[in-house]
A and B are shown apart, each in its own frame.
Chain A
Amino acid sequence: MDEREIIALLRAHDEAGAEALARRYGPLMRYLIAPILSDERDREECFNDVLLRVWEKIGLYDEERGSFTAWLTALTRNAALTRARRRLPAEDALEEEVSPDPTPEDMLIAAERRRILLDAVASLTREERALFWRKYYYRQSTEQIAAETGLTVRAAEGRLYRIRKKLRGMLGGEFV
């Protein structure tokens, strides 16, 4: 079953769509969740959460804004991050809870920071960008990055260090 058929079935709330989604995109979703959640039970629960969210929110998916894989990637990653935050140690969790909801001004500042960062990332080489997304978006470990990109761990560490240095040079000290 191809992507369009799966989306159509999900929009029609046909259970065959959910099955096809889990079969076809399950490996990718698990791959995205694994680096963020270390506990196996957490991962499985998160995976089921994402399936449920896709089932509920498929109406929000807009082809104009990006591919289905990109939408699913964002949904899966954010679900895993949310679950990981809930698993933070007590004092960190308390800090999270007392943090007030972001104001519109905070959201504007965050969007602006993201835009500045993406501009800086765009000036990296293609290979550097791939490493950047793996490290900072997918939160993969250096060992995983090394194995999947054909680098030794030491070489991967070196490259990530140089990427960080380049970005710091472009973004300046006030970015922190």
Chain B
Amino acid sequence: MTDRNRTDDRFDEALLASLSDSALPPEEAVRAANPSRRAARLVLIGLALCSVMWNIGWLPYLLPVVGHLCSLLGFRALSRENGWFRAAYGCAWVRAAYGWAWLILLNVPGGEEWADAYPWKAFVWLSAAALLFEVFSLGRGLSAVRHAAGLEAGVPASYGLLVWYAVIIAASVIFPDFTGGIPALIILLGSYLMILRALFRTVKEFEETEYAIRSAPVRVSDGPFAVLMLAVLLAGLVATGIAFARLPMDWLPDDGTRSADATSAASELEELGVPRAVLEDLTNEEILACRGASRAVVKVYENRSEDGGLLRFTNIGLRMSDEGEETTECYVILHFAWVETPRVCGTDCFHLWEYANGRVEVCSRGEVNGRLLCDRDGTRCTADYASLGRRMLFGGAMFPFFNTVSSEEGAEIVGEFSFDGRCGRMRGYVFYPLTVSEGWYVNEQYNYTHQASRLLYPRRTTAEMQRVSSAWMGDRTFWSSASALQFSP
């Protein structure tokens, strides 16, 4: 034995001797003696945190993470005591796996739509069944402990909890689209209070047994176990964050060769005042379509984004028909270009109000086309929009400032895209013909919405975010700039 070991042993003996008298132990020491308390409390805290979604900030995501960890750690300690706790531990793993997968899925744009797919639904049902069986096993396990401690078996509070969960799950199946209102809020809060009461009763019943459970030895301590679980979640979030940070875009080199006709037409348009930088981005077909324009209206705006980019809008209207006709044929080019590159290149969207004039018959818009351009290593590259098309809005009530737009007419043309962060001169446009009734003016209104922060969870594309909520307004995660082309043709 080394001197150091001898010194340690002597010190240990001195500590033991100092505590060998018959004085009462401090209450703290009495509480430390019962290993059941910590495990039972962890289990119940876990259930409580996973039971109710507090839709405030990131709480709906953070609380279940803590809840799942508590449940796992609690049942891990209890699992050696009896088979019911072991079964509950298995169920806690199923639920945690579902919880982790769900949190990772939320980091995928459109992930919530995937949740309607069959394999995911099967996982949801498995998780719901695991939850019910976990609560049932918890009740049976506690009952077995009470029986082993010589007390009356049965833990009614845990069965109350089981019924509550069963009702909630059944309600979510029968009324899947039920979104709330004050009665639902009261019912939910009342139910939540009932849960808390049931949980407290269960904890008290468990502690009152003063039963010392047989704790399971562990291969990984609780702290590193929790860190490991969080690391798995974080790795999933980082991986999906990298994989789905941008929309898939098919960037191809484009030398921008002009045909002789197109070159001549471009010169005519330039003489009318159309900026050369815009003309260089149009295709031969688009330039040739505009040949013969009698008048050009050009409006240029600039706006600085939250993440330091400078966006220039060049809105161009070209009158194609002669004066005095009942309707006027026009072409519209809405061009946008990042003059100064923004710090974040996530997902952006362009949305054009379909009936900004407020009346369908005033303007008739033809097919909307367009493309995106950028310079990569000195080579011009082009790509189609990730998606470009018409979509319906929820209705006028969502947009009180456009109160002339009825819900039927409430549609917009939306183009979704992502720029490659390694590129320079990021730009794009939409191009379409427009027929305007006599006496009316052109009023094309659109928004450019840009993802201005990488910290975005749940992850949605800019267009998805705008569709489901107007919360992006005033939120620094997204930056939006409105622009318009208004002229009398």
The answer to whether B212 touches A78 (Cβ under 8 A) is no
Query: What CA separation (Å) do A144 and B21 show in the bound complex?
Result: 24
- Asked whether A24 is an interface residue with its Cβ less than 8 Å from the other chain, the reply is yes
Query: What CA separation (Å) do A95 and B487 show in the bound complex?
Result: 111
User: CB within 8 Å of A: which of B1-53?
Assistant: 7-8, 10-12, 14-16, 18-30, 32-35, 38
Query: What CA separation (Å) do A143 and B218 show in the bound complex?
Result: 10
Point out the residues of chain B lying under 8 angstroms from A10, CB to CB. Answer: none
- Interface 0/1 of B205-226, CB less than 8 Å to A: 0000111100111111110010
Nearest CB in chain A to that of B13: its residue: A176
The answer to whether B25 touches A139 (Cβ under 8 A) is no
Point out the residues of chain A lying under 8 angstroms from B220, CB to CB. Answer: 152
Residues of A within 8 A of B (CB): 22-28, 30-32, 65-67, 69-71, 73-74, 77-78, 81, 110-111, 113-114, 117-118, 129-130, 133-134, 136-139, 143-144, 146-153, 155, 164, 167-168, 175-176
The answer to whether A74 touches B23 (Cβ under 8 A) is yes
- Asked whether B411 is an interface residue with its Cβ less than 8 Å from the other chain, the reply is no
Nearest CB in chain A to that of B42: its residue: A150
The answer to whether B218 touches A176 (Cβ under 8 A) is no
Query: What CA separation (Å) do A113 and B23 show in the bound complex?
Result: 13
Nearest CB in chain B to that of A133: its residue: B29
- Asked whether B151 is an interface residue with its Cβ less than 8 Å from the other chain, the reply is yes
| Distance to closest chain B CB from A25 (angstroms) | 6
| Distance to closest chain B CB from A2 (angstroms) | 8
Closest 8 CB pairs of A and B: A31-B212, A150-B222, A148-B35, A23-B150, A133-B29, A147-B215, A148-B215, A130-B32
Point out the residues of chain B lying under 8 angstroms from A164, CB to CB. Answer: 8, 11-12, 15
| Distance to closest chain A CB from B168 (angstroms) | 31
- Asked whether B426 is an interface residue with its Cβ less than 8 Å from the other chain, the reply is no
The answer to whether B150 touches A138 (Cβ under 8 A) is no
The answer to whether B150 touches A74 (Cβ under 8 A) is no
The answer to whether A32 touches B23 (Cβ under 8 A) is no
The answer to whether A146 touches B217 (Cβ under 8 A) is yes
Point out the residues of chain B lying under 8 angstroms from A114, CB to CB. Answer: 18-19, 21, 23
The one of A28, A148, A153 that contacts B210, using a Cβ cutoff of 8 Å: A28
Point out the residues of chain B lying under 8 angstroms from A77, CB to CB. Answer: 25
Point out the residues of chain B lying under 8 angstroms from A167, CB to CB. Answer: 11, 15
- Asked whether B95 is an interface residue with its Cβ less than 8 Å from the other chain, the reply is no
| Distance to closest chain A CB from B68 (angstroms) | 16
The one of B20, B209, B210, B221 that contacts A155, using a Cβ cutoff of 8 Å: B221
The answer to whether A152 touches B15 (Cβ under 8 A) is no
The answer to whether A129 touches B18 (Cβ under 8 A) is no
Point out the residues of chain A lying under 8 angstroms from B215, CB to CB. Answer: 144, 147-148
Q: A150-B222, A164-B12, A176-B11 are in contact. Are A70 and B18 (CB under 8 A)?
A: no
Point out the residues of chain B lying under 8 angstroms from A168, CB to CB. Answer: 11
| Distance to closest chain B CB from A125 (angstroms) | 12
The answer to whether B21 touches A134 (Cβ under 8 A) is no
- Not counting A133-B28, A137-B19, A151-B221, a sample of 7 additional A-B residue pairs whose C-beta atoms are within 8 angstroms of each other reads A26-B150, A117-B19, A147-B77, A147-B216, A149-B35, A150-B73, A150-B218
The one of B21, B29, B151 that contacts A24, using a Cβ cutoff of 8 Å: B151
The answer to whether B30 touches A67 (Cβ under 8 A) is yes
Point out the residues of chain A lying under 8 angstroms from B18, CB to CB. Answer: 110, 113-114, 117
The answer to whether B210 touches A69 (Cβ under 8 A) is yes
Query: What CA separation (Å) do A149 and B20 show in the bound complex?
Result: 24
Could you show 12 A-B contacts with beta carbons less than 8 Å apart? A27-B148, A27-B150, A30-B212, A32-B33, A66-B24, A71-B24, A78-B22, A117-B15, A129-B28, A130-B32, A147-B80, A152-B221
User: CB within 8 Å of A: which of B186-222?
Assistant: 209-212, 215-222
Point out the residues of chain B lying under 8 angstroms from A22, CB to CB. Answer: 150
- Asked whether B76 is an interface residue with its Cβ less than 8 Å from the other chain, the reply is yes
| Distance to closest chain A CB from B231 (angstroms) | 18
Query: What CA separation (Å) do A137 and B18 show in the bound complex?
Result: 10
- Interface 0/1 of B121-133, CB less than 8 Å to A: 0000000000000
Point out the residues of chain A lying under 8 angstroms from B77, CB to CB. Answer: 147-148, 150
- Asked whether B392 is an interface residue with its Cβ less than 8 Å from the other chain, the reply is no
- Asked whether B360 is an interface residue with its Cβ less than 8 Å from the other chain, the reply is no
| Distance to closest chain A CB from B33 (angstroms) | 6
Point out the residues of chain A lying under 8 angstroms from B22, CB to CB. Answer: 74, 78
Query: What CA separation (Å) do A24 and B19 show in the bound complex?
Result: 27
The answer to whether A147 touches B218 (Cβ under 8 A) is yes
Point out the residues of chain A lying under 8 angstroms from B7, CB to CB. Answer: 176
| Distance to closest chain B CB from A50 (angstroms) | 13
Nearest CB in chain B to that of A74: its residue: B24
The answer to whether A151 touches B209 (Cβ under 8 A) is no
Query: What CA separation (Å) do A22 and B149 show in the bound complex?
Result: 10
The answer to whether A110 touches B218 (Cβ under 8 A) is no
